[in-house]
């Protein structure tokens, strides 16, 4: 690229940050190189100097200087290998809702949302199979832990991703989780407000309560039903979105989530944990019983939308064994 370009912002790119616009259209340009071009005024929006965090809108003109060696020095754009017919059918079979803006999946436990050094099969790698009649590659707008099942919302375009991203950030989205936990909370309803911080070495990090270093984390809960004092069914509504928030908060009140090996040591009921492994729920105790049951979207200018995900097989079995009825949550 040896000459100056004047690029018009399209409808699909409206209302996103300038640095993200460049990442989308010039993926080989490093962030450091972009910042230098902005500082020296070589990149402009509608003729004016610009900053990386400013938003661009449809119809605006972005001045792109000759990038040449800056692009060749950048990292190669990640390209996923072709998706197998099996995986394409698999990911399409998870769809529980779709409109012109978004797709909702019922993610099964054990499937990662994004890849890592040892994770090659994940939702992000299969998104091209969810284009259907759309032109854009769908985009992730939030995450679920690998072992958490339930509603996962995916945007069908860049513009939809920007709108959904703002909705998640501005608390226009209500998330409802169902969990089976060991024991019974002291109170049947309550709010857990405990700042969380990462601790431990890489590869085995966990979230711990730390009011000094941690980030604010708030979870509302209620006990829907119980099986004696051994197992409780909790409805959890997080008010913040920290890593492992629900798992750490449940462990903090001494009721670890069934099947959660990382946080189970916080349980105040070791005898009951043994019961799970030896008899009670032994067929499901090796899988985490945390399910993103419902997402309620209240976006400006749109009708309220509620998406509900059926329970995964192992939790359905657990509910039956424990005598729980999903109708109890409506009480």
Residues tagged active-site: 145
Which is nearest to 190 in space by CA: 255, 143, 144? Answer: 255
User: What would the two tokens of residue 236 be?
Assistant: 């959890």
Cα–Cα dist 291/279, whole Å:
23
Alpha helices in the chain (DSSP H): 18-25, 31-39, 68-72, 85-92, 123-126, 158-169, 245-252, 270-278, 313-322
Q: Which residue has the tokens 């959890």?
A: 236
What is the Cα–Cα distance from 61 to 115, expressed in whole angstroms? 35
**Contacts by 261-264 with C-beta closer than 8 Å and gap 24+?**
262/206, 263/206, 264/182
Token pair 């409109």 is at which residue?
99
101 three-class SS: coil
Q: Which two tokens stand for residue 26?
A: 């010039």
Strand segments, DSSP code E, in the chain are 5-8, 16-17, 44-45, 48-49, 55-56, 61-64, 95-98, 102-107, 139-140, 149-155, 173-182, 189-193, 196-199, 206-209, 218-227, 231-238, 290-297, 305-308
190 vs 182: CA distance, rounded Å: 17
Q: Which residues contact 187 (CB under 8 A, 6 or more apart)?
A: none
Distance CA 123, CA 115 (A): 8
């Amino acid at each position: 690229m040896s000459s100056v370009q004047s690029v018009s912002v399209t409808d699909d790119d409206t209302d996103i940050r300038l640095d993200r616009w460049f990442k989308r259209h010039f993926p080989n340009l490093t962030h450091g190189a972009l910042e230098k071009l902005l500082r020296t005024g070589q990149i402009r929006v509608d003729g004016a100097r610009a900053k990386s965090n400013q938003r661009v809108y449809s119809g605006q003109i972005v001045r792109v200087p000759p990038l040449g060696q800056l692009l060749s020095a950048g990292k190669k754009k990640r390209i996923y290998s072709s998706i197998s017919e099996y995986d394409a059918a698999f990911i399409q079979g998870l769809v529980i809702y779709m409109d012109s803006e978004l797709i909702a999946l019922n993610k099964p436990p054990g499937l990662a949302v994004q890849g890592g050094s040892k994770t090659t099969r994940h939702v992000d790698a299969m998104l091209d199979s969810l284009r259907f009649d759309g032109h854009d590659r769908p985009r992730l707008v939030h995450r679920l832990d690998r072992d958490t099942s339930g509603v996962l919302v995916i945007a069908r375009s860049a513009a939809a991703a920007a709108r959904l991203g703002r909705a998640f950030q501005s608390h226009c989205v209500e998330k409802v989780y169902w969990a089976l936990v060991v024991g019974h909370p002291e109170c049947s309803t309550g709010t857990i407000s405990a700042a969380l911080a990462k601790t431990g070495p890489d590869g085995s990090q966990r979230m711990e309560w730390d009011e000094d270093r941690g980030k604010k984390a708030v979870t509302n809960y209620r006990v829907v039903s119980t099986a004696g004092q051994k197992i409780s069914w909790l409805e959890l509504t997080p008010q913040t979105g920290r890593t492992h928030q629900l798992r750490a908060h449940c462990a903090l009140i001494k009721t670890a989530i069934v099947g959660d090996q990382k946080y189970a040591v916080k349980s105040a009921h070791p005898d009951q944990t043994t019961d799970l492994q030896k008899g009670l729920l032994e067929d499901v105790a090796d899988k985490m019983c945390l399910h993103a049951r419902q997402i309620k979207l209240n976006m400006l200018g749109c009708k309220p939308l509620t998406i509900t995900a059926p329970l995964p097989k192992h939790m359905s079995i657990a509910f039956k064994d424990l005598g729980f009825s999903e109708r109890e949550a409506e009480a």
